[in-house]
Amino acid sequence: MTTVHEPAVLATASAEVLSVWPASTAEPRPGDLTVGGVALAEIAGRFDTPVYVLDESEVRRRCQNYRDAFPEAEIHYAAKAFLCRAMAHWVEEEGLGLDVCSAGELELAVAAGFPPDKIVLHGNAKTPHDLKKALSYGVGRIVIDSPSEIARIAAAVGPDGHQKVMVRVVPGISAGGHEKIRTGTEDQKFGLSISDGYAQHAIARILDQPQLELTGLHCHLGSQITDVKPYLSAVRRMVGLMARLREQHGVVLEELDLGGGHGVAYRPGEQTMDLTRLARKVRAELTEACAAAGLTVPRLIIEPGRAIAGPAGIALYRVVSVKHTGGHTFVAVDGGMSDNPRPALYGVRYAPRLVGRRGSTTLAPVTVVGRHCEAGDVVAADVQLPDDVGAGDLIAVPVAGAYHLSMASGYNLVGRPPVAAVRDGRARLLVRRESLEDIRSRDVGL
């Protein structure tokens, strides 16, 4: 085992280390990290572990950043990243719309008072139930993802009904942090391709349905994109298609939805999408492309998920055991792939930190693993933690606000963790822990 000798001052988190933490993060005493004015150790004591901590001000600030960067656009938060009633309230209060992909997400949002006309329904396989709920609540728009949906939606709307729709177009652009989260290319399940003509064909059929109003085109390139260029290519291709639609059908589409996918840093030093730059470049490209095509500039829609919720959340675990085996040190915590499948799914890397006490200033290379029955159940591979980390210690994983709880599973029946919100020195429970009683109550047969 190699040990890295660091000067004592590094026991206190540096500004670089804290760059992936919420802006409110502070360290009043070495090792005693607070978020939103609340000590993480206090949260662990009060709500037990594992627990997700969500900084309300950070969520709101990130919503405001989008409004400031894109004042002319509609910003829709992608609910699949993380949704609960409080989150729906915050997003709505900050002036954003909402993207949902199921009747479940839709119902939760509507139950929380989210205005249905500011909700957009997505999905490559919307069930009859999803569509029925969307129409009965009166969602603002439905994004058509396959030709068969056109007739289904038109029939469900009825001859006297009216529904605004968009079409999800595959622009044929490869971008995104990992193969499994790239959705702008031809070889994946989402959308209708421009190059094989499916998109144009579907649009012609939509225009034939009097009860469907095609408001615009939609594309979503993928996730964890930090480069502006793919979005500019998307703008050019989408405007090209809009120009052809005007020629062929005389239709002028009023909105252009460029999806989300803006990358965040999971570890200090990683790249993030520069929103101001993205906004400036997209605006310039759109203006220029539309001028060249003689089109009026459509209203822009942007759909961030991860970039709103991800960096506002922290996952807090307790160490159960530390084991030295095969030349490795495994720090095993009381959660894992059931509350965060992302390392197993996409090989994502995190930068965990010992919190709640001042650790040894000597760091040791360790792999933080979960409690589940799979060797791939890793929380953070090959990271540096104080070499005195032991059972009972608290480990905090930043950037855990998006695609953690929303992707959590029931594996090993450990129950999904609760979510506590912090703000102005107070913590409150937003989502309670899934109890054994919750799990047992579903088991109804014998």
Ligand X SMILES: *Cc1c(COP(=O)(O)O)cnc(C)c1O
Q: Which residues bind ligand X (CB under 6 A)?
A: 78, 80-81, 99, 122, 220, 223, 259-262, 303-307
Task: Write down the least CB distance from residue 272 to ligand X, Å.
Answer: 12
Residue nearest ligand X, CB atom distance: 305
Task: Write down the least CB distance from residue 378 to ligand X, Å.
Answer: 22
Instruction: Indicate if the alpha-carbon torsion angle 305, 307, 308, 310 is positive or negative.
Output: positive
- Annotated binding-site residue? 306: yes
Instruction: Specify the residue, 177 or 370, whose C-beta has the smaller distance to ligand X.
Output: 177
Sole residue written with tokens 């894992």 = 336
Is 290 a residue of the active site? no
- Annotated binding-site residue? 92: no
439 Cβ neighbours under 8 A, 6+ residues apart: 410, 413, 415
- Annotated binding-site residue? 390: no
Instruction: Specify the residue, 262 or 353, whose C-beta has the smaller distance to ligand X.
Output: 262
Q: Tokens at residue 45, please? A: 């004591």
Instruction: Specify the residue, 264 or 363, whose C-beta has the smaller distance to ligand X.
Output: 264
Burial 308-342 (b: 16+ CB within 10 A, else e): bbbbbbbbbbbbbebeeeeeebebbbbbbbbbbbb
Sole residue written with tokens 């995104």 = 176
Instruction: Specify the residue, 225 or 241, whose C-beta has the smaller distance to ligand X.
Output: 225
Angle at 144 between CA 142 and CA 149, to 5 degrees: 105
Q: Are 173 and 188 in contact (CB under 8 A)?
A: no
Instruction: Specify the residue, 177 or 335, whose C-beta has the smaller distance to ligand X.
Output: 177
Task: Write down the least CB distance from residue 20 to ligand X, Å.
Answer: 16
- Annotated binding-site residue? 303: yes
Count of positions (residues) in the chain = 446
Instruction: Tell whether omega for the bond before 230 is within 30 degrees of 0, i.e. cis.
Output: no
Q: What are phi and psi of 19, to 5 degrees?
A: -65, -20
Q: Which residue of the set 63, 84, 101, 373 is catalytic?
A: 373
Give 53's strand partners. 314, 420
Task: Write down the least CB distance from residue 66 to ligand X, Å.
Answer: 11
Instruction: Specify the residue, 248 or 271, whose C-beta has the smaller distance to ligand X.
Output: 271
- Annotated binding-site residue? 244: no
- Annotated binding-site residue? 346: yes
Task: Write down the least CB distance from residue 191 to ligand X, Å.
Answer: 9
Task: Write down the least CB distance from residue 224 to ligand X, Å.
Answer: 7
In this structure, are strands 119-121 and 97-100 parallel, antiparallel, or unpaired? parallel
The HSE-up count of residue 400 (CA atoms within 13 Å, CB side) is 32
Instruction: Kindly tell me the number of DSSP H helices and DSSP E strands found in the chain.
Output: 12, 22
Q: What is the Cα–Cα distance from 251 to 245, expressed in whole angstroms? A: 6
Q: Active-site residues: which are they?
A: 373
Residues in binding site: 261, 303-306, 342, 346, 374, 403
Binding site membership for substrate: which residues?
Answer: 306, 342, 346, 374, 403
Binding residue positions for pyridoxal 5'-phosphate: 261, 303-306, 403
